Amino acid sequence: MLAIDVISTIFLAAGSLIMITGTVGLLKFPDFYTRMHATGKCDTLGQILIILGCVIYEGFTFITIKLLLVSAFYLLAGPASTHALMKAAYVTGLPVWKKGDKRM
């Protein structure tokens, strides 16, 4: 039981750490487009690790399949929502930050 606790805690902590990295990037990056890189990518791996941590903690049951389906659905929905925001910004003509420009 202890080993399972430790392993699932490691997974949950790694997932949370990656989410925090994404948030730091969101605050630190210079413009909208690069900020979407930080959130769009870190969230995907972060949620996979957090769900895996939950799965390991609870043991393998039929609920596991539902959790893994949630994770798989995020792999479709995450990039789609990122793309929708990026396209909206691009179509309305939000300027793209180039190296050496001022922070937006």
Contact assessment for residue 56 and residue 4, using Cβ atoms and an 8 Å cutoff: yes
Name the residue nearer to another protein (CB basis): 40 or 54.
40
Residues 77-96 that bind another protein (CB under 8 A): 78-80, 82-83, 86-87, 90-91, 96
Per-residue DSSP letter, 102: P
Quick check: 41 and 22 in contact, CB under 8 A? Answer: yes
b/e per residue 31-48 (b: at least 16 CB within 10 A)? bbbebbebbbbbbbebbb
Contacts of residue 102, Cβ cutoff 8 Å, sequence gap at least 6: none
Smallest gap from residue 56 Cβ to another protein (A) = 17
Site string for another protein, 52-71 (x = CB under 8 A): ----------x--xx-----
Site residues, another protein (CB under 8 A): 18, 21-22, 24-25, 28-31, 33-34, 36-38, 40-42, 44-46, 48, 62, 65-66, 75-76, 78-80, 82-83, 86-87, 90-91, 96-99
